[in-house]
Structure 1
Amino acid sequence: MSKRHLQFLKNEVIDDVTAQRIREYEGIAKVSVALPVPLEQIVEQVLGLDFDWDIIEEHPGEQILGGLDAVNKKILLNEKHVALFDSKPGLLRSTIGHEAGHYDIDIDRSKLLHPKLPGMDFTPAIAKRHASKADRLIEVLLDRAVSDPRAMALYKKITAGQDTAEQKSAVDRYQSALLMPKWLMHEANEQYDFTQWSDLYRLAEVAQVNISNLTVRLQRLGMIYLRNGDKTIYRSRDEFTGQQTLF
């Protein structure tokens, strides 16, 4: 895959796509979505995907939490990692969101039912893997290995010279926007103090996401600023810079 065949998906485009999916669900279910976002219902009723558990083949150094059986419109979750899902709240939802993003913004429109949306000419780095039930051949996103440093090293080696880091992260940004829509984060900003870790942990619990997913999302929205190695949460980079000038 060459870079010239990829179009960078801006955060605003992904926000618009996921917001449209949520609004479609609200129209179907006649409800107003609040936190936690009803992810499985949106994936089933709007994207038309089902869920299944299976044992997914992993190569040395890989950690694959889920895959996509696009032909049968199923998100497959890896039975090998049930304990990991149980031990890390929010991981299952983010994995489902990743696979939904793979289905929703993959450039291979022959597998999709939704019409192509503006700004969505994108193909993520994917690989083919077997799942044991019915010996299914599924697609897996190689960046599913982000929680395993060894797998990440392998991933970087495989994809070196292909997509930019931001392009690889498109489905990650998709799941983040779907689980934490911009308008609900702004509503939460009225109820929680985003400069306090205790409030962020409470919000993460309400949204049913992990804390790292939440903080990355808030940073992408420009609602907080975190500096590596600094536990202080700033409202913005400007606030951080202003604090530094005082010393």
Structure 2
Amino acid sequence: MTALGFLYPGHSAEDDYPRIEMLLDSDIRLPVVHTDIGEDAHRVDALLEMGAPGRLAAGVEELRLAGAEAVVWACTSASFVFGWEGAHEQVRGLAVAAGLPASSTSFAFAHAVRELGVQRVAVAATYPADVAEHFAAFLKAAGAEVVSVRGSGIVTAAEVGTWGRDEVLAMARAADHPEAEAVLLPDTALHTAAHVPDLERELGKPVLTANQVSVWEGLRLVDRRVHAPQLGSLFTKAQVVQA
């Protein structure tokens, strides 16, 4: 049995984690602890406060009690807004507080892009345009070439959490770019676990989504690989063929 711990901000799409646990169909548990988000706003100042060390540290004891072997800060925006170096410092602090290997969703995207062996990516973000550009800058610092960035202008995670399959597919299609080798959907407040195969068939290329890559990153931290086709190319590295 492997337990991977996730610190999840507030309540939006946390039900992706039990769904992913089911799709992994293995001896892997994904306990989730909710952090206090303060103000629910996709604004840089609010996101910096959301990702403050004290807010993250408050949840680690519960994850340790759940038997977590690694911990992931399951939030993209409240990690990449700290910048490349600041996000590293955030993760180092989390690892010290938890006494466990630690990472965040932002680094999960960077590592997943590398795992897929792609260079050029498109970003389909729920965020306002200025926040989406912070994610693009983070990816560029990780060595990726960002060929397209599209923000959707949604200010709150609560609103993002109401989106269904049609909205997710429409956003991904609108952000895709002919030169992009993969499309990234960076918001953990967005329900995507059930839609990854549809997204990849629709776009004909790998799609990385926030909760999907967060779980993959947790597995990477504990040196486990799981073959799970329903979670997309990242969990199979198979060729995607457009329908």
TM over 0.5: no
Higher strand proportion (structure 1 or 2):
2
Higher helix proportion (structure 1 or 2):
1
* TM-score (structure 1 length as normaliser): 0.30
